[in-house]
Amino acid sequence: GQQVMQIPQYQHVQEGEDFTTYCNSSTTLSNIQWYKQRPGGHPVFLIQLVKSGEVKKQKRLTFQFGEAKKNSSLHITATQTTDVGTYFCADFSGTYKYIFGTGTRLKVLA
């Protein structure tokens, strides 16, 4: 079945540094969603990307969908301590269900 892998698994950064997580799928992605889960919390929807090569920005967050629709990335500029959490990508597959990526846990050191 489809596998959605994220790298890195963990990332520790100093506050103010940039951070990027990459999402790679074994099959073509239908549409990609990104979620943030704070420690002890539940996933919160961030954004959805649908088109090949699409780039969307939310303040310090930049989301990109690969040209071949097999990968996506989330880049955070100048991280803050509030960015701490686990970031998941998820593919809303053709079988009408969500396949979550393995996640990247971000820790920001003040």
Partner 1 sequence: GAVVSQHPSRVICKSGTSVKIECRSLDFQATTMFWYRQFPKQSLMLMATSNEGSKATYEQGVEKDKFLINHASLTLSTLTVTSAHPEDSSFYICSASSRLETQYFGPGTRLLVL
Query: Rule CB under 8 A: which residues touch partner 1?
Result: 1, 31, 41-45, 48, 88, 92, 96-103, 105
Q: How far is the CB of 87 from partner 1 (least distance, A)?
A: 11
Give the separation between CA 86 and CA 76, rounded to whole angstroms. Answer: 13
Give the separation between CA 90 and CA 66, rounded to whole angstroms. Answer: 14
Dihedral (CA of 75, 8, 86, 67) sign: positive
Q: What values do phi and psi take at 29, rounded to 5?
A: -80, 140
Nearer to partner 1, 61 or 90 (CB): 90
Tokens of 48: 């959805």
Q: How far is the CB of 69 from partner 1 (least distance, A)?
A: 16
Q: How far is the CB of 94 from partner 1 (least distance, A)?
A: 11
Nearer to partner 1, 20 or 48 (CB): 48
